[in-house]
């Protein structure tokens, strides 16, 4: 799993690539996410356009991130979700929890609304 950080105004975009599965990469991403939230991050977008597989650990990371962001007055949104990942999000009804956007720009602009 590779993570590229992009800052747009006060929104942090994490462009993820690879598999969001159990292992050191997911643990590293979780630690990074916790660190950013502890530093006061409240607007986060996960760009999932290069993630083609998520297992239960990956889903857990998304849910924990979302919950932690909410508890700290923030919000985690998803953008450019691949077909296979979207299918999983729909099966688990997580599309009703997360804001899911077709583009990163739409997700970023949604914070202004």
Closest CA to 47 of 1, 107, 111, 113: 107
pLDDT digits (tens, 9 = 90+) for 21-67: 888 778 889 999 999 999 999 999 999 999 989 999 999 999 999 99
Residue 49 gets which letter from DSSP? E
Q: What is the pTM of this model?
A: 0.93
Domains of the chain: 2-110 (3.30.750.24)
Residue 113, pLDDT above cutoff 90: no
CA distances from 8 to 5, 12, 64, 106 (A): 10, 6, 23, 13
């Amino acid at each position: 799993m590779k993570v590229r950080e992009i800052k747009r105004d006060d929104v942090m975009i994490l462009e993820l690539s690879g598999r969001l599965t159990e292992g050191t990469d997911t643990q590293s991403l979780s630690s990074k996410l916790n660190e950013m939230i502890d530093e006061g991050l409240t607007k986060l977008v996960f760009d999932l356009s290069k993630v083609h597989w998520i297992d239960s650990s990956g889903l857990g990371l998304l849910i924990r991130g979302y919950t932690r962001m909410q508890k700290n007055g923030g919000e985690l949104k998803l953008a450019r979700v691949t077909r296979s990942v979207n299918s999983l999000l729909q099966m688990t009804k997580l599309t009703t929890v997360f804001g899911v956007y077709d583009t990163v720009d739409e997700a970023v602009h949604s914070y202004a609304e």
